[in-house]
Structure 1
Amino acid sequence: MTSERWPTELRLAKDRRSLRVAFDDGTAFDLPAEYLRVTSPSAEVQGHSPAERKTVPGKRDVAIIAVEPVGNYAVKLVFDDLHDTGIYGWDYLYRLGAEQAEKWQAYLDELAAKGLSRDRTR
């Protein structure tokens, strides 16, 4: 399977709170770590069907501690909460960037509907 878009830059911010992804079509996205964590393509978050998808609260302050290549088609992100099972393909990262406003608002709406918070419970 080949991607229609190819990344030309993957850069983790110094504070580890965002990942810059640029593509060969000239688009670039700064994707917050929290957004990447709560939209992880992992089975832990997405489940094995749409009905199993989880709303992940408490990740406002999450950081990315590693960006690991997976072949030539994806990266695995390791977060400081030790979540590391999501494989972010180039098309998925592009879609996350292109649809960020809508996906982020849907996430905020889900949190509110379920009485959950972006902040960690103590």
Structure 2
Amino acid sequence: MTAPKELRVSKDRRLLTVTFPGHAPFELPAELLRVLSPSAEVQGHSPEQRVTVPGKRDVAISRIEPVGNYAVRIVFDDLHDTGIFTWTYLHTLGREKDARWQSYLDELEQKGLSRG
């Protein structure tokens, strides 16, 4: 996957706009990025270990740090900073945003958790 031509964090720090060459921009809310972080803390080391992260409705992006030529580390204001978001993962999140968001909401409901 080619690097995005633009990564832009909104003024309120709650939205990341990712624009890949030849594609319309993807708008990814900070909450979505935080709860679907590719970190081992969230994803675990197998599908069975994946964690449903509640209470992140008001999370914001503190900063974005480049990781080589293939990814960025997104640091959130709740101090989560271990997820490495590859270009491929960001593109996948952009394409599958609605389905992944609905899945997350369904998991919260099933587990009796809230967005907070």
Q: Does TM, scored on the shorter chain, surpass 0.5?
A: yes
CA distance in 2, matches of 1:34, 1:61: 7
Out of 79, 99, 102, the position equivalent to 2:96 is 99
* Percent of aligned positions that are identical: 66
Normalising by structure 2, we get a TM-score of 0.98
1:53-64 pair list within 5 angstroms = 53-64=50-61
Listed as ranges, the gaps of 5+ residues in structure 1 are none
Listed as ranges, the gaps of 5+ residues in structure 2 are none
Out of 78, 82, 92, the position equivalent to 2:79 is 82
1:88-120 residue CA offsets vs partner (Å, 9 max, x unmatched): 00010000010000000000000000000000x
Contact 2:70 2:87 (C-alpha < 8 Å) held by counterparts: yes
Q: Counterpart of 1:68 in 2: which secondary structure?
A: strand
Q: Counterpart of 1:54 in 2: which secondary structure?
A: coil
Letter in 2 for 1:52: Q
Q: Counterpart of 1:110 in 2: which secondary structure?
A: helix
Q: Counterpart of 2:85 in 1: which secondary structure?
A: strand
CA distance in 1, matches of 2:83, 2:94: 16
Out of 7, 10, 17, the position equivalent to 1:13 is 10
Normalising by structure 1, we get a TM-score of 0.93
1:71-99 residue CA offsets vs partner (Å, 9 max, x unmatched): 11000000000000000000100000100
CA distance in 1, matches of 2:22, 2:67: 22
How many residues matched?
116
> How big is the alpha-carbon RMSD for the aligned residues of Structure 1 and Structure 2?
0.7
